[in-house]
């Protein structure tokens, strides 16, 4: 049985490379940033909507009504 050099040199890698891990971390970071910006935007929209409803209500035009 002859000795085969190709089988000795061939290695079977079953791990992720550094580039693949970096890309996954980058994608996760982008998703987290998007979610936090989205939640901030949602809170601003709710506040803006509440201000609009308050400013357009007839209660805002009652004279002598103190602001709390």
pLDDT, tens digit (0-9, with 9 covering 90-100), for 3-21: 555 555 666 667 788 999 9
- 29-65 residue pLDDT tens: 999 999 999 989 999 999 999 888 888 887 767 777 7
pTM: 0.51
CA–CA separation, 46 and 64 (whole Å) = 28
Torsion sign, CA atoms 45, 51, 54, 55: negative
Q: From CA 25, how far away is CA 27, in angstroms rounded? A: 5
Structure tokens at 25: 């971390």
On the CB side of 54, CA atoms within 13 Å amount to 8
Give dist(CA 36, CA 67) in Å, integer: 33
């Amino acid at each position: 049985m002859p000795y085969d050099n190709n089988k000795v040199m061939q290695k079977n890698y079953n791990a992720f490379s550094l580039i693949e891990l970096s890309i996954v971390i980058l994608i996760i970071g982008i998703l987290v940033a998007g979610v936090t910006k989205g939640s901030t935007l949602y809170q601003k929209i709710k506040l803006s909507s509440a201000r609009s409803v308050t400013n357009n209500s007839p209660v805002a035009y009652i004279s002598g009504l103190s602001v709390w």
